[in-house]
């Protein structure tokens, strides 16, 4: 922490009344009804630039620099002239909507995600927002949970890489820069483990799994400098995360050295009453503040109760000062005292630039995952008449995904139009928006492309499903045209892995498009017709059926592992034991071969280089994503059958071979051991360089 900042804050705190201190701990919605006197009296620390709790589902007036400046001006009329910090959910883009975070994770390209976050920061700050409630870093092993769309999938290593990259993209080197945002690592922690995939449900996570799977992305975000953290709604292991002193204070601050502030989730301080750990608001306020929760998002509990708790000596002045200090520190570091206002002319320069759109297109293209491509049906070539059918054929805003309150449908070229633009000369496109029409027209065309999936409103906050099948009205298109003898491509837009086992068997080619954002339609056209090639890889396991969930690659072996022969092995009677597609899987328009795995040493001392040759054996250039996995064969606690430790994106020309190198360090093999300490255990390891989490060249080494 900088001495200048600390001196400034201490000086300020020395002048603040208890009311003004408590004021800094309150965040309210920036609605026009908000009494200006609250601001003038210094009773508000932050405004939340959103119209309400439903911001995640649809358009919500973004406000703009003028409105932010208006509120800021009133706040600066307060006695001590402490500026507000204005926050908003700017999750995967502002006006330039990038693919949903899960899709961005599928690109296995953290630098690209970082650039996207940087564009997002520029657009949001031009609108007077200085703080985003992102990145969402919840590990998700259950795609029934609607918020799987908002995170980076199931893997802690990929999650940690994405976390660091996105935090850097939002914040840059200094978040005081006018075009940078303060990031918020959320939801701390374990929120993705909500039972049954039901949002807001309780969860149980063992300490080793919490430490080795759920915490690493948060730790990476803190190491990358994330200014704030948001507590999760969840009751984890019997303690609501909003009141969990061990996690909010001992781990986050004590172990990791976090110096920013923690904001609650929406009303989650008040919800401590419903959880059954607090008797009333006053009790809830005490629990949260003492746990290390600094800012109250909209519940009003701190505002209503902390003054009295202080007078009664139930909280010490020091604990209040500490919370205020953390909030003022971020405000100071964000440059708000010096530059509280937003330059209103930026809006005309910084929004929806051609560069931003181009980046969104690259991101959409790299995020789509080719799951099947029999007889190299894709890219579509040599077909004169192609039928495009499905519920998404005219999609615009439907391509955005969840949490895009600032996206505008009119900025999106509708899918049918975008496909017309990318169709090669001489190819006729026909369109059908009903299964019946699609069936009739199929007889007259040479190939069929179906654009189906789930609407964005079906994923995101509290949009959980009990059935991972395609939603009603989608599979009907496939049923109508499959088996009619025409090459069939199915493109699926979704915010989660759907159980598409039947569609995979019916179609010749399947491309998973996720919710690809503002340039998704154009990116799809480029991939379908082959001006570009798919290179995305699954950041989450695809189950065959809902009943397979939870299913994830970094599982433990069990005493009766699935791969062994015999009846009494872990299994279902009615499903194969493996997923439909494993973590890390994805095809391109060419083929790759892996050969000659080499390890620099038999024993890891310091570092170990693991390398393999990857050859493009097909006829087109293509990007392969070689992945490094390890397995710790014997541990004091059981160890996952594989853990991702590295990945690269490698562009190879036809016939080209490249030796792909990874370096493993001892620290990469550390885990939470049976005695609760974190470190390595000597012994044997398997290592793979692999195209996905189920295949690859295997070697071994010792530590
Ligand atoms: C509730 C959500 O859980 C959180 O992710 C979001 O940032 C807040 N609402 C504010 O909209």
Following CA atoms 41, 46, 50, 53 in sequence, which dihedral angle do they give, to the nearest 10 degrees? -100
Note if 265 is an active site residue: yes
Helix (H, G, I), strand (E, B) or coil at 297: strand
Phi-psi group of 460: left, alpha or beta (phi > 0 → left; psi -120 to 50 → alpha; rest → beta): left
Following CA atoms 486, 489, 493, 497 in sequence, which dihedral angle do they give, to the nearest 10 degrees? 110
- If you write DSSP's letter for every residue of 588-643 in order, what string do you get? -SS-EEEEEEEES-SB-BSEEEEEEEEEE-SSS-EEE--EEEEEESS-SS--BS-E
Q: How far away, in angstroms, is 298 Cα from ligand 1 center? A: 11
Nearby residues of 412 by Cβ (< 8 Å), 6 or more positions away: 396, 397, 399, 400, 518, 520, 521
Q: Do domains 356-548 and 592-702 have the same CATH topology?
A: no
Cα–Cα dist 215/680, whole Å: 18
Q: How far away, in angstroms, is 92 Cα from ligand 1 center? A: 14
Report the nearest atom of ligand 1 relative to the CA of 232.
3
Write out the two tokens for 320.
């209040």
Q: How far away, in angstroms, is 432 Cα from ligand 1 center? A: 38
Phi-psi group of 385: left, alpha or beta (phi > 0 → left; psi -120 to 50 → alpha; rest → beta): beta
In the beta sheet, which residues pair with residue 700?
686
Q: Does domain 356-548 have CATH number 3.40.50.620?
A: no
Write out the two tokens for 371.
């799951």
What is the structure's pLDDT at 587? 98
Cα–Cα dist 212/218, whole Å: 11
What is the structure's pLDDT at 550? 97
What is the CATH architecture assignment of 3-348? Alpha-Beta Barrel (3.20)
What is the structure's pLDDT at 51? 47
Q: How far away, in angstroms, is 126 Cα from ligand 1 center? A: 22
CATH of domain 592-702: 2.60.40.10
Report the nearest atom of ligand 1 relative to the CA of 134.
7
What is the structure's pLDDT at 32? 73
Cα–Cα dist 688/529, whole Å: 34
Helix (H) or strand (E) holding 11: helix 3-15
Q: Rounded to whole angstroms, what are the CA distances from 392 to 350, 388, 396, 440, 477? A: 30, 10, 9, 19, 11
Q: Give the residue whose CA is nearest to atom 1 of ligand 1.
A: 266
Helix (H) or strand (E) holding 176: none
Model pTM greater than 0.75? Answer: yes
What is the structure's pLDDT at 34? 81
| Per-run averaged pLDDT (10 residues), the chain, 703 residues | 91 98 95 86 89 57 81 96 96 98 99 98 96 98 98 98 99 98 98 98 98 98 98 98 98 98 98 98 98 98 98 98 98 98 94 98 98 98 98 97 95 96 95 98 98 97 98 98 98 98 98 98 98 98 98 96 75 93 98 98 97 98 98 98 98 98 98 98 98 98 98
Nearest C-alpha neighbor of 75 from the set 38, 102, 106: 38
Residue ranges of domains in the chain: 3-348, 356-548, 592-702
Report the nearest atom of ligand 1 relative to the CA of 50.
11
Q: Give the residue whose CA is nearest to atom 9 of ligand 1.
A: 266
The one catalytic residue among 265, 508, 632, 692? 265
């Amino acid at each position: 922490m900088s001495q200048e900042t600390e001196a400034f804050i201490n000086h300020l705190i020395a002048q603040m009344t208890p009311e003004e201190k408590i004021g800094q701990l309150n965040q309210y919605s920036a609605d026009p009804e908000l009494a200006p006197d609250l601001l003038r009296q210094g009773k508000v620390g932050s405004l939340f630039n959103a119209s309400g709790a439903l911001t995640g589902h649809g358009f919500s007036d973004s406000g703009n620099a003028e409105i932010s400046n208006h509120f800021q001006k009133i706040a600066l009329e307060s006695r001590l002239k402490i500026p507000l910090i204005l926050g908003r959910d700017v999750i995967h883009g502002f006006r330039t909507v990038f693919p949903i975070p899960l899709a961005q994770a599928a690109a296995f390209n953290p630098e690209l995600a970082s650039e996207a976050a940087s564009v997002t920061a520029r657009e949001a700050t031009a609108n007077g927002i200085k703080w985003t409630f992102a990145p969402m870093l919840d590990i998700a092993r259950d795609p029934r949970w609607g918020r799987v769309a908002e995170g980076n999938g199931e893997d802690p290593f990929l999650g940690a890489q994405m976390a660091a990259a996105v935090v850097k993209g939002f914040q840059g080197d200094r978040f005081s820069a006018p075009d940078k945002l303060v990031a918020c690592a959320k939801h701390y922690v374990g929120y993705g483990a909500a039972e049954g995939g039901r949002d807001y449900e309780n969860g149980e996570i063992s300490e080793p799994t919490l430490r080795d799977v759920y915490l690493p992305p948060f730790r990476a975000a803190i190491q990358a400098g994330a200014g704030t953290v948001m507590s999760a709604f969840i009751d984890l292991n019997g303690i609501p995360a909003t009141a969990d002193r061990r996690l909010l204070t001992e781990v986050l601050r004590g172990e990791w050295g976090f110096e920013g502030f923690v904001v609650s989730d929406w009303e989650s301080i008040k919800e401590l009453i419903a959880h059954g750990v607090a008797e009333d608001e006053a009790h809830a306020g005490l629990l949260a503040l003492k746990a290390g929760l600094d800012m109250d998002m909209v519940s009003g509990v701190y505002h209503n109760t902390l003054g009295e708790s202080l007078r009664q000596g139930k909280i010490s002045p020091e604990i209040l000062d500490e919370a205020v200090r953390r909030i003022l520190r971020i405000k100071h570091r964000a440059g708000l005292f010096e530059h509280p206002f937003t330059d209103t002319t930026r809006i005309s320069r910084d929004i929806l630039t051609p560069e931003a759109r181009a980046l969104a297109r690259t991101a959409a293209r790299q995020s789509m995952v080719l799951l099947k491509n029999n007889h190299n049906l894709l890219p579509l070539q040599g077909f004169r008449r192609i039928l495009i059918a499905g519920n998404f054929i005219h999609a615009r805003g439907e391509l955005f995904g969840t949490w895009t309150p600032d996206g505008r449908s009119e900025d999106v070229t509708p899918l049918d139009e975008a496909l017309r633009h990318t169709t090669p000369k001489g190819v006729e496109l026909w369109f059908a928006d009903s299964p019946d029409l699609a069936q009739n027209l199929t007889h007259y065309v040479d190939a069929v492309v179906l654009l189906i999936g789930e609407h964005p409103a079906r994923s995101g906050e509290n949009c959980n499903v009990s059935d991972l099948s395609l939603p009603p009205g989608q599979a009907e298109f496939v049923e109508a045209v499959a088996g009619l003898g025409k090459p069939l491509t199915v493109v699926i837009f979704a915010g989660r892995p759907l159980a598409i086992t039947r569609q995979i068997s019916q179609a010749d080619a399947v491309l998973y498009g996720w919710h690809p954002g503002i340039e998704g339609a154009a990116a799809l056209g480029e991939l379908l017709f082959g001006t570009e090639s798919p290179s995305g890889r699954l950041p989450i396991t695809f189950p065959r059926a809902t009943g397979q969930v939870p299913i994830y690659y970094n599982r433990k072996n069990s005493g009766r592992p699935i791969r062994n022969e015999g009846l009494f092995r872990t299994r279902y009677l009615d499903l194969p034991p493996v997923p439909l597609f494993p973590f890390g899987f994805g095809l391109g328009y060419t083929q790759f071969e892996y050969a000659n795995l080499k390890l620099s040493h038999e024993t890891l001392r310091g570092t170990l280089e693991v390398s393999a040759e990857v050859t493009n054996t097909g006829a087109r250039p293509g990007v392969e994503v070689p992945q490094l996995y390890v397995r710790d064969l014997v541990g004091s606690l059981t160890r996952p059958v594989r853990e991702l430790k590295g990945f690269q994106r490698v562009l190879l020309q036809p016939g080209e071979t490249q030796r792909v190198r990874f370096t493993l360090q001892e620290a990469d093999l550390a885990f939470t051991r049976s005695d609760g300490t974190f470190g390595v255990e000597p012994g044997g390891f398997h290592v793979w360089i692999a195209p996905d989490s189920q295949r690859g060249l295997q070697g071994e080494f010792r530590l």
